[in-house]
Chain A
Amino acid sequence: MLRLISLALALWLTVPVTAAAQPLQAILQTHQDEVLQPGRRTVSVVMDDLVASGLPQALPFLEAWRDREIVQRGSDGLFFRAASIGGTLTLLDLDTGNAIEEFDADDLTEARPNGGVRRAIGDALVQFQLSDPDITKRQTAVEAIARSMDSSQLAPLAASIASEPDPVLKETKTRLAGMLGALFADTAAARIAAIEALSGDLSVDVRAVLNTVLATDPQVAVTASEDANVARILAIGEDITAIEAYDRLIAANLAPALISGSDIRAALVENIANGAVGGVPVASLNTDGARAVAYDALSAQGIVPPRVTDAEQAAAIAAHTFYLQYSEADAAITDAADKALTAIEAKVALNQGIDLGLDALSLASIYFLAAIGLAITFGVMGVINMAHGEFIMMGAYTGFVVQQFVPDYTLSIIIALPLAFSITFGAGVAMERLVIRHLYHRPLETLLATFGISIALQQLAKNIFGTQARPLTSPEWLDGALVFNDVVAISYIRIAIFVLALLFLCLILFVLKRTRLGLEVRAVTQNPGMAASMGINPDRINMLTFGLGSGIAGIAGVAIGLYAKVTSEMGADYIVQSFMTVVVGGVGNVWGTLAGASLIGFLQKGIEWLNPSNTLAAQTYMILFIILFIQFRPKGIVALKGRAAAD
C-alpha cells in the first residue's frame, strides 16, 4: 500500500519532466490482464510502468479506472474510456481524448477492479489530489485524510506541505501532519517531537489523537509484568469496587465464578425434596442465612459447586494487582502525550471558564432586561406587578404578529421593538389607572389584583394564539456565533441581547439622572408627600413610571422571544426570577438590579457547571441560596440608606 502511494506520488512529481515519452495505450497493452482483472498485488505492476512513463494522462486514467469507466474493445484489445455524452455511450481515446463514434457495444469488456483495488487506487489518487492545482480538490483530500487517519498518509502529506500555495490550507496540512506524526511517525523521537508540538492546541481532534495514544486496557495479574507500560495501578474501593475487581478476575480465569443469590435460589428450588432442602425446611428459607446453610449442605453432598466465601473473594482480590496498561508500549511516548494532554486540558479548563463566564453574562443580561422594568415600578411605587411576566409575553407576541405582516426579518424587528414598547406602555398605563391607583395603600392586595390580571392575560393569549409555541425568527445577520477558539463561542443573538441590556442600562440611568422626569421620579420614590408639596404631580409620575416599566418589559419580550419560543406561559417562567433579581439586588436602584441579575446569572451558570446534567437541581439550589441570602441582607445587595429606606 505504502509502496503504491509513493509510486503514485512519484508519478505526479515526474509528470512535467518526462511528458509524452510513450503512449499510455502501449503500456496498458503490455498489461492487458492486469488492467482488466486487477488484483491487489498485480495492480502495482501496472502502477510501476505508469510511473515510469510519467504521462500526464495517467491521472485521468486512474480516476476512470477507479470509477469503472475503462473498457476493452474485443476486436483489437485496445482500452478506452467509456463516457456517457448526451445520453449516448461514447468511447474516448485514452491518449488524445478524442471521441470514437462508431463501435460495437457488444464487443466491449468492462475492466472491473474489485473493492480493495478501487480503494487502493482511490488512496493513491488522494495523494495526487493533495497537490492538485485546484484548491477545492486539495481541501477535499485533506478532509478525507482527517476523517480516517492512516499511517500511509503521513509521508505524502508531509511532502505536499512545502509546495502548498494557500496559507490557510498549508496551516491545516501542517496540523494534520503533526497529528499523523504523533500517531504514526517512524521513530519514537519523531513521535515525541510531534506530540510536544501538539501541546497547546485546544481542538477536539488533537485531544482525540492524544487520547488515542494514551488508550489503556484494564489488566489483572499477580504482579504487573516488567516490560508492560503501566498507566496506573488501580486501588480497590477507590478506582474500582471490589465487585468489579472480582468480575475481572473471573473474566481473566484467575478466580472461580461467584454463586449469586439467584443461582443459590435456583439450585435450592431444583433440589427440594420432601419439603426441605439440605435438611432445611422450605418454609424457613426466607432469609439469606438459612439459604446459605441449605446451599452449603447441598455442596457438601457434591450436588452443586461450593460457594465462594467473602473471605476467599477478598483473598483472591488481594493476591492480584489490577492496573491499566497503555496500548502504546513505549513509555517515553505515553509520558510525552500525557504531559501534552495535561497542558491542553489545563488550557481547555481555562477557556471553558471563559466560555462559562460569557454564558453567565448573557444570562445575566436576559435577567436584567426582564427585571429592570419591574425594578422601576417596584422601586418607585412599592407595587408588586405580578402581570409583569405577561407584559413580557405581550411584547413577544407583538413581535410574532409583526412578523406575520412584515416578511423581512430585520425590518420586522425594527418595527416590533417600538411597537412592543408602545403597546405594553399603554397596557401598563391602563392597568395603573384602572386598578393599581386604587390599591396604593394595600400593597399585598395589589399583588393579588395584578395576579388576577396575569391569569386573565395568560388565558387570553392562549385563546388567541393557541397553546403551541410560536417562533420569532431572528434576522439572518444574527444567526451563527462568534467563535474565538474550539471552546469559547457565543451566539450573535446573545451578544445582541447583551448590547440591548447595556443600552437600556444607559438609557434608564440617563432618564433617571439627567432628565426632569427622572428628577421627579426620584423625588416621588424618596418621599411622595414632600414631592407633591413641591409641585410634582405624583399621580402623573406614577402613571408614567408604570408605563415605562411595562414598556421595557415589552421590549425585553421581543428580545427573549428571539432566542426562546413564544408561548402564553413564557411570562410565568421569568416572573419569579425577575422578582429574585429585584429583591436580591435591592429595591429602587438600577445598579442594584444590575448586581442582582449578575449574581443570579453567574450563580445559576456556576451551579449548572457543577452539576451539568441537571438544570432543575441548579434552579432549586439557586433559590435556596437566594432565600438564605435574603436572611443576611434583607434589603438586597445595594440597600437604600437613610430616610429613603423607610418602608
Chain B
Amino acid sequence: MHRSFLSQNPSVLWFVATLAVFTVIVTLLSEVTGVDMISTSFVKTLGKTLCLCLVAIAMDVVWGYCGILSLGHFAFFGIGGYAIGMWLMYARTEGIVIESLSSQPIPPTPSEISDAIGNQIFGVVGSSEFPWIWAFADSLFLQLLMVIVVPGLLALVFGWLAFRSRVTGVYLSILTQAMTLALALYLFQNDSGLRGNNGLSGLQNVPGYEDVSQATISILFFIASAFALGAGYVFFAWIVSGKMGSVVKGIRDNEARVRFLGYHVESYKLFIFTVTAVVAGIAGALYYPQAGIINPGEVAPIASIYLAVWVAIGGRGRLYGAAIGAAFVSLLSSWFTGGGAPNINLGFYVIQWTDWWLVLLGLSFVAVTLFFPKGIGGLFDLLVRKQS
C-alpha cells in the first residue's frame, strides 16, 4: 500500500528530496557552522516561509482538493501561534520574575510570583489578573496540546454546523470569513485576555535556552519547520491519493453525485476541514516563535484571503503548487515591500514598488485567475509533456 502510494506520486519524493537538500544547504551556509553566508534574519525569513508553505498546502487540500474555499485557515494559523506564544511569554516572564524576586530577603510565595507575572504581562492593558484562558500557560505540554486542540475543535464545531446545514460555495466562504472577522475583533479587545492590540511579544526568546544564541535557535526552528513541511506534505499526499482522495475530489467536482453514491459527504468534508485546520495551527506554532510577535492584525480576514491568493497563483489541486506559490509570493512580497526592488523612473513619475506592489499583485492575481487557472504549477505540466 505504502509503496504504491509513493510510486503513484513521484512528486512526493521529489519534493521531500528537494526540501532536504535545501535544508542541509541553508544549515551549512548559516552562521552556526561559521560560514555565515546566510544571515540569521534571512534564516528566520526562510523558516517562516516554510511554515507559510505548510499552511498553504493545508489550504490547497481544503480548497484545491475538496472544493471548500475557506477564508478562515489563517485564523487557525494565528490560533496556533497564540497558543504557543502564551507559553513562551509566560515561561519567559516567570523566569525573569523569579530571578528578580530571588534577591529579596524572603523567598516569594506562589501568589506573589503569579501576581508579578500578571503585572508584567497584562500591565499594558491595565490589568494584572490572569484570565481563564491562561490556565494552562505554565505547562509546555498542555499549550502544545492547545495548538492542536483549539483550532481542531473550532474547525470541528464550525464545520459541523456549516456542513450539516449544507452551506456551500460562496456562502461558506463568506461564513468562514465572518468567523475570521469575529475572531480578529475578539482578539482586538483589551479584555480578551490576550493583550488586545498589543498581542504577544518577545516570542523569539525560548525559555530555558537563554544562553543559546539566536543563530542556533533560528536554525533549529528552520530545521523543525522543514521537517514539519516535509511530514505535512507526505501526510496530505497520502490523504489525497487513494480511495479517500478520490471521494474528496469527487465532492469537489460534484457533491450531489457523490452523496447519491452513498458516501456521507459531510463527514469527509468535516474531516478534511478539521485536519487542515490542525495542520494550520501547527504551522502557526512554528511560525510565530520565528517572527517574535503576534497580534490580532495577523488574524484579520485579509490574511486568509492572501493565503487563497498564494494557493491560486501557485496552482490549485497540486500540493507542490501551493508550496511554490506561498514561497514565491511571500518572498517576492517582502522583497518588494522591503524596498529590495529598484524603483522605476518613468521620467514624469517614479514608480516606487513599496507603493505599487499591491497594485501589481492584485492585477497579476486577476490575470492568473483569468489566463492561468493552473498557476505556476501548470508550468510543470508543460515540462512533463515536452519530455514525453
Q: Does A540 count as interface, using CB distance less than 8 angstroms? A: no
Q: Does B123 count as interface, using CB distance less than 8 angstroms? A: no
Q: Does A24 count as interface, using CB distance less than 8 angstroms? A: no
The B-contacting residues of A in range 448-496, CB under 8 angstroms, are: 448-449, 451-460, 462-463
Partner of B363, one of A261, A438, A456, A624: A456
* Set of chain A residues within 8 Å of B369, measured between Cβ atoms: 439, 445, 448-449, 452
Stretch of A410-418, A551-559, A575-583 on the interface side: A575-583
Task: Please determine whether A620 and B355 come into contact, CB atoms closer than 8 angstroms.
Answer: no
- Interface code B82-100, partner A: CB below 8 Å = 1, 0 otherwise? 0000000000000000000
Task: Please determine whether B366 and A449 come into contact, CB atoms closer than 8 angstroms.
Answer: yes
CB within 8 Å for A453 and B173 given contacts A283-B107, A448-B309: no
* Set of chain A residues within 8 Å of B185, measured between Cβ atoms: 616-617, 619-620, 623
The B-contacting residues of A in range 261-314, CB under 8 angstroms, are: 261, 265, 268-269, 272, 282-288, 291
How many Å lie between the Cα of A394 and that of B96 in the bound state? Answer: 52
Task: Please determine whether A631 and B359 come into contact, CB atoms closer than 8 angstroms.
Answer: no
Question: Among the interface residues A284, A444, A614, which one has the most CB atoms of the partner chain B within 10 A?
Answer: A444
Task: Please determine whether A463 and B109 come into contact, CB atoms closer than 8 angstroms.
Answer: no
* Set of chain B residues within 8 Å of A74, measured between Cβ atoms: none
* Main SS at interface, chain A: helix
Task: Please determine whether A632 and B106 come into contact, CB atoms closer than 8 angstroms.
Answer: no
Q: Does B388 count as interface, using CB distance less than 8 angstroms? A: no
* Set of chain B residues within 8 Å of A614, measured between Cβ atoms: 189, 191
Q: Does A634 count as interface, using CB distance less than 8 angstroms? A: yes
Q: Does A443 count as interface, using CB distance less than 8 angstroms? A: yes
Closest A residue to B300 using CB positions: A572
Q: Does B186 count as interface, using CB distance less than 8 angstroms? A: yes
Task: Please determine whether A627 and B169 come into contact, CB atoms closer than 8 angstroms.
Answer: no
Task: Please determine whether B305 and A630 come into contact, CB atoms closer than 8 angstroms.
Answer: no
* Set of chain B residues within 8 Å of A628, measured between Cβ atoms: 161
Partner of A620, one of B104, B174, B182, B363: B182
The A-contacting residues of B in range 340-388, CB under 8 angstroms, are: 355-359, 361-366, 369-370, 373
CB within 8 Å for A456 and B359 given contacts A448-B308, A619-B185, A631-B162: yes
Question: Among the interface residues B112, B182, B302, which one has the most CB atoms of the partner chain A within 10 A?
Answer: B182
CB within 8 Å for A435 and B110 given contacts A451-B365, A456-B358: no
Question: Among the interface residues A458, A583, A630, which one has the most CB atoms of the partner chain B within 10 A?
Answer: A630
Partner of A449, one of B109, B165, B186, B365: B365
CB within 8 Å for A576 and B178 given contacts A282-B107, A445-B369: yes
* Set of chain A residues within 8 Å of B107, measured between Cβ atoms: 282-286
The B-contacting residues of A in range 581-596, CB under 8 angstroms, are: 583
Q: Does A28 count as interface, using CB distance less than 8 angstroms? A: no
Task: Please determine whether A452 and B167 come into contact, CB atoms closer than 8 angstroms.
Answer: no
Task: Please determine whether A447 and B69 come into contact, CB atoms closer than 8 angstroms.
Answer: yes
Q: Does B208 count as interface, using CB distance less than 8 angstroms? A: no
The A-contacting residues of B in range 51-73, CB under 8 angstroms, are: 69
Task: Please determine whether B161 and A463 come into contact, CB atoms closer than 8 angstroms.
Answer: no
How many Å lie between the Cα of A453 and that of B105 in the bound state? Answer: 65
How many Å lie between the Cα of A455 and that of B359 in the bound state? Answer: 7
* A-B CB proximity, top 6 nearest: A456-B362, A452-B365, A459-B358, A623-B182, A286-B107, A455-B362
Residues of A within 8 A of B (CB): 261, 265, 268-269, 272, 282-288, 291, 382, 384, 435, 438-439, 442-445, 447-449, 451-460, 462-463, 572, 576, 579-580, 583, 614, 616-617, 619-620, 623-624, 626-628, 630-632, 634, 647
Could you list 7 examples of A-B contacts with CB < 8 Å?
A: A291-B106, A448-B309, A452-B361, A456-B358, A456-B362, A580-B174, A617-B186
Q: A268-B106, A616-B188, A616-B189 are in contact. List 13 more A-B contacts (CB 8 A).
A: A269-B105, A287-B110, A435-B370, A442-B373, A443-B169, A452-B365, A452-B366, A453-B363, A619-B182, A620-B186, A620-B189, A623-B179, A630-B171
